[in-house]
Amino acid sequence: MKFSKIFPPFTILLSVAISLYLYPYLPDTLATHWGLDGNVDGYSSKFVGLFIMPIISTFLYLLFSFLPVLPTYKRRWSEFDQYFYLFISLMFGFLFYVYLLTMFWNLGLRFHMGQAIAPFLAIILFYSGHLSTISKRNWFVGIRTPWAMQSDKVWEATNRFGGNCLKIISAFSLLIIVLPQTGLFLFVASIFLLLPITYLYSYIIHRRLS
């Protein structure tokens, strides 16, 4: 768990150090947004392009650091802290990875952004699914429908079903690597299909047990 606590601020400091180092070598305008086709469709100033990700990561780190002291979260924090910190480390790893991809692109390396992001995205989605399937009723992790928050049985059923759906979605995200356009379509379609089904499933279980 010690590594999981150190890793997020480490990525922030490292990204700031890289930005300071690269500042003299990059143009005044940087590519910072890519469309669904993998082509650049948005630009920002050099300062924004270099430092927006470290700034966002810093705000997120402060937010996540503050959560354990809130009364709503404090009661059951110890039951989930190791899983939560690992999830946060994955999130910060993902942000740092996207930051590095942006830097590489602006230094002249060319690749399909969606294909490059897909593997890490799949890891986060799969772990989120795993986390849901093993979680108990709480306010930190899992699929928190109104009915799941009222009953341990509904929570367990909802998160087992929804967690497996997230794992399926993660598999669809991997298709983007080999089939960028088709894979992206199937990935987005799986989200719009499986997440509402999970919500509906939670309600059905609630009605069945009430």
Q: What is the pLDDT along the chain (210 residues), one digit of tens a residue?
A: 566 778 999 999 999 999 999 999 999 999 999 987 778 988 999 999 999 999 999 999 888 877 666 665 555 556 666 777 888 899 999 999 999 999 999 999 999 999 999 999 999 999 999 989 988 887 777 899 999 999 999 999 999 999 999 999 999 999 999 999 899 999 999 999 999 999 999 999 999 987
Q: Helices 113-134 and 152-178 sit at what angle, rounded to 10 degrees?
A: 160
167/42 Cα distance (integer angstroms) = 31
Count CB neighbours of 13 within 10 A. Answer: 12
Helix (H, G, I), strand (E, B) or coil at 112: coil
Which sign does the torsion angle of CA 69, 144, 125, 103 carry?
Answer: negative
CA distance 210 to 204: 10
pLDDT of 69? 66
Q: What is the DSSP string of 37-62?
A: TSSEEEEEEHHHHHHHHHHHHHHHHH
34 to 101, 117, 122: CA distances (angstroms)? 11, 11, 19
- Is 125 within 8 Å of 168 (Cβ atoms)? no
**Domain-wise residue ranges, the chain:** 1-110, 112-210
pTM of the model: 0.86
Q: Are 31 and 43 in contact (CB under 8 A)?
A: yes
For tokens 């497996």, what's the residue?
Answer: 164
Give the chain's length. Answer: 210
For CA atoms 177, 180, 186, 190, the dihedral sign is positive
Give the other-Cβ count within 10 Å of 168's Cβ: 15
